[in-house]
């Protein structure tokens, strides 16, 4: 099967978008305790949405496909996309009378680790027949998360037919998620998801177990320790995290990694370089509060790559 369009985008992202309220505290409060917030900000969020924003900040051509309500949060989400240069002209559906997704994230000042409370959207999910598959495949790479899961599976299937590389953010184990795992070229999972899914005792064994179920190369993000990948031959590739200072907030770092990885694949980088590029981009994003405020430019990422400052590989 051939594409019905010329390449419009480096990456098309399908998934969830959110409006985030973010704060920083010195110490976590226990139940029935109070703690002052040292900072409070608002910005766009959501897995595929933040990935799209990261790609745009890197200079990539990117479109986002998803849903928002016509409430105030929905208007803010749309404005944040437009500000960073993500194309939402055809893919972002506005649902009349519906509530957009919202999240409250609190980061601990000393570690940059965070806790998140979120309110699900009331916009429903995109059905496969509602997707503009022709427009969504006008890209070098397609990235999906699992919010509109049936639509994501349909889009990835079409990409397989067309030979378009795909990246998936799979956050939680599920049967439909397993179907996505079996279709996508680069499924990327956080460590806790990989361990829960396989009941293995370490992320390396989990990655190998998942690869037996997967179509492509499984990538596992492991926080401050970096990331690893396992290909269909069972070979493990490690990428230590980059060291940056200060670490203000890790919110959205995984989403940034996914977006930067997809951007790297779109630019023709092989797996080791794509993982290194994604790791550097994600590290730089942790120097500001929230997933969007610290998004680096391509020049900033390239400067960090040239310095080669990495954490000790302690896997």
Q: Which of 132, 181, 176 is nearest to 158 (CA)?
A: 132
Give the mean pLDDT of 112-139: 92
* 62 falls within a domain: yes
Q: Using the predicted structure, report yes or no on whether residue 149 has a pLDDT greater than 50.
A: yes
pLDDT at residue 1 in the model = 61
**Could you identify the residue written with the tokens 């795992």?**
181
Provide φ and ψ at 24, rounded to 5°. Answer: -125, 135
* 104 falls within a domain: no
Whether residue 297 contacts residue 56, with contact meaning beta carbons closer than 8 Å, is answered with no
Q: Using the predicted structure, report yes or no on whether residue 117 has a pLDDT greater than 90.
A: yes
Q: What is the pLDDT of residues 265-282, one digit of tens each?
A: 999 999 999 999 999 999
pLDDT at residue 16 in the model = 96
* 140 falls within a domain: yes
The β-bridge relationship of strands 186-190 and 218-221 is parallel
Q: Which of 117, 76, 122 is nearest to 97 (CA)?
A: 122
Percent of the chain with pLDDT over 70: 96
> What distance in Å separates the CA atoms of residue 143 and residue 263, rounded to the nearest whole number?
10
**Could you identify the residue written with the tokens 């990885």?**
261
Mean pLDDT of the chain: 92
Tokens of 13: 């992202």
Give the residue numbers spanning the domain of 226.
9-16+47-68+125-307
* 297 falls within a domain: yes
Q: Which of 264, 200, 190 is nearest to 226 (CA)?
A: 190
Number of structural domains (the chain) is 1
- Residue-by-residue DSSP string for 222-246: -GGG-EEEE-TT--EEEEPPBP-S-
Q: What is the CATH number of the domain that holds 222?
A: 3.40.1190.20
Q: Which of 177 and 101 is assigned the larger pLDDT?
A: 101
pLDDT at residue 5 in the model = 67
Whether residue 201 contacts residue 290, with contact meaning beta carbons closer than 8 Å, is answered with no
- Order of all β-strands in the sheet with 18-25: 37-45, 18-25, 102-108, 114-119
Tokens of 266: 């779109």
* Residue 314 pLDDT level (bands cut at 50, 70, 90): very low
> What distance in Å separates the CA atoms of residue 295 and residue 286, rounded to the nearest whole number?
8
> What distance in Å separates the CA atoms of residue 89 and residue 93, rounded to the nearest whole number?
9
* 115 falls within a domain: no
* 170 falls within a domain: yes
The reported pTM is: 0.93
* 74 falls within a domain: no
Q: Using the predicted structure, report yes or no on whether residue 118 has a pLDDT greater than 80.
A: yes
User: Is the bond leading into 219 cis (omega within 30 degrees of zero)?
Assistant: no
Q: What is the pLDDT of residues 27-67, one digit of tens each?
A: 888 899 999 999 899 999 999 999 999 999 999 999 999 99
Calculate ∠ Cα 69-72-76, nearest 5°. Answer: 90
CA distances from 213 to 167, 206, 208, 216, 225 (A): 16, 11, 9, 9, 25
* 36 falls within a domain: no
CA distances from 232 to 98, 181, 186, 240, 309 (A): 43, 13, 11, 21, 30
Give the mean pLDDT of 19-25: 92
């Amino acid at each position: 099967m051939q594409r019905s369009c010329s390449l419009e985008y480096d990456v098309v992202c399908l998934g969830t978008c959110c409006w985030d309220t973010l704060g920083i505290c010195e110490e976590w409060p226990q139940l029935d305790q109070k703690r002052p917030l040292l900072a409070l900000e608002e910005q766009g969020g959501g897995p595929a949405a933040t990935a799209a924003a990261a790609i745009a900040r890197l200079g990539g051509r990117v479109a986002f496909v998803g849903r928002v309500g016509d409430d105030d949060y929905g208007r803010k989400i749309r404005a944040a996309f437009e500000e960073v240069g993500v194309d939402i002209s055809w893919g972002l559906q506005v649902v009349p009378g519906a509530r957009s997704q919202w999240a409250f994230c609190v980061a601990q000042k000393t570690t940059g680790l965070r806790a998140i409370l979120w309110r699900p959207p009331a916009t429903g999910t995109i059905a496969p027949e509602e997707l503009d598959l022709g427009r969504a495949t006008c890209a070098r790479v397609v990235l999906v998360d699992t919010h509109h899961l049936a639509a994501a599976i349909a889009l990835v299937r079409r990409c397989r037919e067309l030979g378009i590389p795909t990246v998936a953010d799979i956050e939680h184990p599920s049967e439909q998620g397993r179907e996505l795992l079996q279709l996508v070229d680069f499924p990327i999972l956080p460590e806790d998801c990989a361990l829960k899914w396989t009941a293995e005792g370490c992320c390396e064994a989990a990655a190998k177990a998942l690869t037996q179920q997967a179509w492509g190369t499984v990538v596992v993000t492991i926080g401050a320790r970096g990331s690893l990948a396992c290909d269909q031959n069972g070979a493990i590739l490690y990428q230590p995290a980059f060291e940056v200072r200060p670490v203000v907030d890790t919110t959205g770092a995984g989403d940034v990694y996914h977006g930067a990885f997809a951007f790297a694949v779109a630019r023709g980088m092989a797996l080791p370089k794509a993982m290194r590029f994604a790791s550097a981009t994600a590290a730089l994003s942790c120097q500001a509060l929230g997933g969007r405020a610290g998004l680096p430019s391509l020049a900033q990422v390239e400067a960090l790559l040239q310095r080669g400052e990495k954490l000790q590989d302690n896997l």
